Structure 1
């Protein structure tokens, strides 16, 4: 089974591409969604212990957590040491379940895949990209988003140029949806001939 890493900076269209893959009956693990689940469950007491006052009603308050984290790199690393092992365990369960069904491809949708060095644990990296002006327009439409907050988020991520350079495949979502669909289908056709090693080496 091929393990594909799907990534890209904020506002590039990862969710759109992930939806297209699911429509083609390909399993996709959403790392962001798993973090949301963990913040409403087993990660809550651990996060609260590390960052007192960031949880209420049994859930992590993401706004309070963001305020505590600020731009402190060490606090981010503390949070990552709590959450990342939990997410990795969920990824492994997803891949084992997907492989047991006999699926040929499984996708891990991870925004910080390259930043975390997880590209070494997949068979191919697909980067979702779009022109910078399109990206900013999309992100600034989100509730509560500001130019300053967007710039802070982008500072924590590799540049789009670097992500594209390190990709095995790039999906450009700056044009019509039909064009994105065609790119996805072309990538899937190419992947059929790619050897699969990552699952046995890193996840089984």
Structure 2
């Protein structure tokens, strides 16, 4: 079974990923892939430097992610330019890893953790889509605390993604992560039981 896992920034998607992985579910993580394709010396990183400038590279040749985030989040045309460079490679690697995992055991549950799943139009590739949800006001507060952002910076990041309420409406499964870790664990346990007993 192929499952897409998504949510909004600071909704706790990584927590849910860890809880699912602890069940033995094969996890394909788009964020890990995105970091790997932007490692020093990678062709995509050279393309990014050519398009945006060497000032977006760190001394070790890696991408200055914080600087790039500041640059693109309130500039939709710049965000689009970055996405056009990196997203095709990320999507191809996600597809490869999912197919590889399915090839080892056709009964496997494979979860692809993709932050921008809906924004990228990839939901049709999955049997079910899980959205990790918290209300927007809590999402905003968690993001500000987690990343040390101002209200304006945090709003810019939230506005760069599809609204969390819209993601919730589109979801096949919603995991509400606005409570305790134990409450989230209970929801993951119930989901695991449903998958393994059906």
Q: TM-score, normalised by structure 2?
A: 0.88
Work out the CA distance in 2 between the residues paired with 1:17 and 1:61: 27
**Could you list the runs of 5+ residues in structure 2 that have no partner in the other structure?**
none
Q: 2:79 aligns with which of 76, 80, 90?
A: 76
Distance 1:193 1:123, change over 3 A: farther
SS of the residue corresponding to residue 37 of structure 2 reads: helix
Query: Which of residues 98, 110, 115 in structure 1 aligns to 2:114?
Result: 110
How many angstroms apart in 2 are the aligned matches of 1:151 and 1:68? 14
Q: Distance in 2 between matches of 1:38 and 1:27?
A: 21
Report what 2:57 is aligned to: 55
Which of 178, 184, 199 matches 2:182? 178
Scaled by the length of structure 1, what TM-score is found? 0.86
SS at 1:108 equivalent = strand
Name the residue aligned to 2:195.
191
> Which residue does 2:130 correspond to in 1?
126
> For residues 76 and 28 of structure 2, what CA distance do their matches in structure 1 show?
27
- Corresponding residue number in structure 2 for 1:138: 142
Question: What whole-Å deviation, never above 9, does each CA across 1:152-185 have from its counterpart, x for those lacking one?
Answer: 0111112221111100000011122222112112
Shift of 1:16: 0.5
**How many pairs does the alignment contain?**
193
For structure 1, the residue ranges without an aligned partner over 5 or more in a row are 195-204
| Aligned: 1:35 with 2:34 | yes
* Stretches of 4+ aligned residues off by more than 6 angstroms: none
Q: CA RMSD in A?
A: 1.9
Q: Distance in 1 between matches of 2:48 and 2:71?
A: 11
- How far residue 70 of structure 1 moved from its aligned partner, in angstroms, is 5.2
